[in-house]
Chain A
Amino acid sequence: MTDTVLPALRSRTLVPARYRAPGDRVFKTVVVVLASGIIALALAMAVVIYLEAAPTFRAFGYVSFLTETTWDPVAAIHGALPFILGTLLTSFSALLLAVFPALGVAIFTAEYAPRWLAEIINYTVDLLAAIPSVVIGLWGIFNFAPQIRDAVYMPIYMWALEDAEWLVPIIGAPSTYNFVTATLILALMIVPYTVALSRDAIGQVPKEQREAAWALGATRWEVIRNSVLPYARTGIIAGILLSLARALGETMAVAMLIGNRNRLPFTLFGPAATMPSVIINEFREAVEPLHYSSIMAVGFYLFIVTIGINLLASWIQQKLSLTKGTL
């Protein structure tokens, strides 16, 4: 339907000038100018943050800023490696923890659960996606972190001290706010996104696809395994990538629970830091120009990483999909 009307709208010869309303030109200009704002916003984000970070890049170089392990504002040495590692480790571990339960929920609500139960579960999961990050951080600080330290980390640490001393340098002395706690909370926070996106992908699988497998005598799991999941695959992969982008940029809950240690090495039960968490923790105290621009530089790399993953996800959705991006 679009194909028949649009060429006519576009063609100037079909519509003589005297029938073209002057309001059209004005309206279109206003709309396009306002809409250019969003393009300007995206460009400004790249350019402005880069310019603010420029002194750091001049002082340390683009690559050595990334590989330098010391972050010491007092000595004016700034290296982002601890935060890069912290972000990558927490995000990928959280993603690993979140993917299978999330897929389980998506499959359960789409294929197993009766309609009423599926609706309740979907509603609950969507609601979690809407809970502000800082509220989850609050729950983590006052409830989750102290309890899991006493109930889980301490016994493991005590056991390691006695029976497995080689483990001690890896897990470290348990502190209340630490790497594992932040990762667990992060996993919990990205689950709703992974569920929602995989659910959409599974929901797009045509009924005939399933019916064909049933007709061949497949069991329920075989239907899912052989005809639903392969069809939904690209959507699920794109969804996982978008969840990863979420995890990389998740700020408040992680900043509240990771303990904020700027130096390597990180231990499992010891404090660590991520790129967003260092921005939150140090930005307001950054008086030195170099300190300020280094935080901006961390932000710039965060920007690059998230934009890369987002573009990759939309590319996968468009190019690798069986349905060529119409999913």
Chain B
Amino acid sequence: MTLQARYARDRLVEISIILLTLLVVVPLLIIIVYVIMNGFSALNLSFFTEELGSPARAMQGRPAGLMHSIIGTIVIDLVALMMAVPFGIATGIMMSEYHEHPFSPVARLMTSTLNGMPAVLMGLLAYALVVKNTGGFSALAGSVALAFVMVPIIARTTESVLRITPWSLREAGLALGLPRWKVTMSLVLPAARAGVITGILIAFARAAGEAAPLLLTSFGNNYFSIDLTSPMDTLPQRLYSLAISPYRQWHSMGWGGAIILLLFVMITFYVGRVVIRKLEKYTNS
């Protein structure tokens, strides 16, 4: 092959790679622009202050909103977070600080497998464990399902940030005569604090966008409820119900819900990204 031909082929490859990149990036931007455009026009005050009610309510033009879904999402996700954090962080600590423990390789394998599991299966499990045994759909069952989603994410990020904290930190603590648990709790964890919190944020954002497990557990509710033992509404699951409903007014509320959900996920994502960048600077210097 002549040099000319090789350069020509180079050029051709470069152009096709640029085209492929556009093919991926452009639809992404289109989706985001569409959700933002349709979403903001669907928002108004009653969207944040009213509950959804029956379809008739929206069709007759009476004020309806997703206040109950927003509050429900926050409640269910926070309860899930409270359940998931101790397990996730403990697993991360075991895999990193006690990696000579015989359970550690097993836990690592389970963590990576669970991370790849479809969330709908977590919903099936939570249904069989909680809903079936308590006799009905409940917000608590939804929290359990979301906790199942969160635990492996928190465990994995905790492990990886603990692992990049310098070994000399532990050596210094041990040399001072600190027991291992104190080294972990008062040296390693504080040093890795930002990373651990980022992991929790990522897990929270992931779980906040999950609709599938909630459809099978917390079920949904057209009215405001704060009772953990009865069905409660959440944004992602409500979005699904609104989108497949036949009512035009509900469709536009769906766009409104989508922009709230998207904004929430984008902000969490951005905060996490900033923290990670700071962390990288810290570890590089």
By a beta-carbon cutoff of 8 Å, the part of chain A in contact with chain B is 1-2, 5-6, 9-10, 20-21, 23-24, 26-28, 30-39, 41-42, 44-45, 48-49, 51-52, 100-105, 107-109, 112, 121, 123-128, 130-139, 141-143, 188, 191, 195, 219-222, 242, 245-246, 248-252, 255-256, 276, 279-280, 283-284, 296, 299, 302-303, 306-307, 309-311, 314
Q: Could you tell me if B128 and A37 are in contact, using CB atoms closer than 8 angstroms?
A: no
Quick check: is B23 within 8 A (CB to CB) of the other chain?
yes
CB contact under 8 A between A135 and B35, given known A104-B17, A127-B269, A130-B266: yes
- A195 nearest in chain B by CB position: B24
CB contact under 8 A between A28 and B29, given known A34-B91, A48-B129: no
Contact of B179 among A24, A32, A101, A142 (CB under 8 A): A24
Quick check: is B41 within 8 A (CB to CB) of the other chain?
no
Q: Could you tell me if B112 and A134 are in contact, using CB atoms closer than 8 angstroms?
A: no
CB contact under 8 A between A251 and B94, given known A28-B181, A108-B17: no
Q: Could you tell me if B20 and A100 are in contact, using CB atoms closer than 8 angstroms?
A: yes
CB contact under 8 A between A41 and B148, given known A136-B31, A284-B216: yes
Quick check: is B209 within 8 A (CB to CB) of the other chain?
yes
Q: Which 4 A-B pairs have the closest CB atoms?
A: A249-B118, A104-B20, A132-B209, A21-B179
| Whole-angstrom distance between the Cβ of A268 and the nearest chain B Cβ | 20
CB contact under 8 A between A49 and B128, given known A276-B120, A280-B212: yes
Q: Could you tell me if A34 and B87 are in contact, using CB atoms closer than 8 angstroms?
A: yes
By a beta-carbon cutoff of 8 Å, the part of chain B in contact with chain A is 6-7, 9-10, 13-14, 16-21, 23-25, 27-29, 31-32, 34-35, 38, 86-87, 90-91, 93-95, 97-98, 100-101, 103, 106-107, 109-114, 116-122, 124-125, 127-129, 148, 151-152, 155, 167-168, 170-171, 174, 179-182, 184-185, 205-206, 208-212, 215-216, 219, 236-237, 239-240, 243-244, 251, 254-255, 258, 261-262, 265-266, 269, 273
Cα A311 to Cα B117 in complex, Å, equals: 12
6 contacts between A and B (CB under 8 A): A37-B87, A38-B87, A104-B23, A112-B17, A221-B14, A248-B118
- A184 nearest in chain B by CB position: B27
Q: Could you tell me if B6 and A222 are in contact, using CB atoms closer than 8 angstroms?
A: yes
Q: Which of B100, B117, B148, B155 counts the most A-chain CB atoms under 10 A from its CB?
A: B117
Cα A132 to Cα B254 in complex, Å, equals: 13
| Chain A residues within 8 Å of B100, by CB | 6, 9-10
Q: Could you tell me if B121 and A303 are in contact, using CB atoms closer than 8 angstroms?
A: yes
Q: Could you tell me if B211 and A32 are in contact, using CB atoms closer than 8 angstroms?
A: no
Q: Could you tell me if A251 and B119 are in contact, using CB atoms closer than 8 angstroms?
A: yes
Cα A128 to Cα B106 in complex, Å, equals: 32
| Chain A residues within 8 Å of B255, by CB | 138, 142
| Chain B residues within 8 Å of A36, by CB | 103, 107
Q: Could you tell me if A31 and B98 are in contact, using CB atoms closer than 8 angstroms?
A: yes
| Whole-angstrom distance between the Cβ of B259 and the nearest chain A Cβ | 9
CB contact under 8 A between A256 and B240, given known A21-B181, A48-B125, A251-B119: yes
Q: Could you tell me if B31 and A251 are in contact, using CB atoms closer than 8 angstroms?
A: no
Q: Could you tell me if B107 and A310 are in contact, using CB atoms closer than 8 angstroms?
A: no
CB contact under 8 A between A299 and B124, given known A105-B21, A137-B240, A307-B113: yes
| Whole-angstrom distance between the Cβ of A70 and the nearest chain B Cβ | 23
| Whole-angstrom distance between the Cβ of B269 and the nearest chain A Cβ | 5
- B213 nearest in chain A by CB position: A251
CB contact under 8 A between A276 and B118, given known A32-B98, A130-B205: yes
Contact of A134 among B6, B121, B185, B209 (CB under 8 A): B209
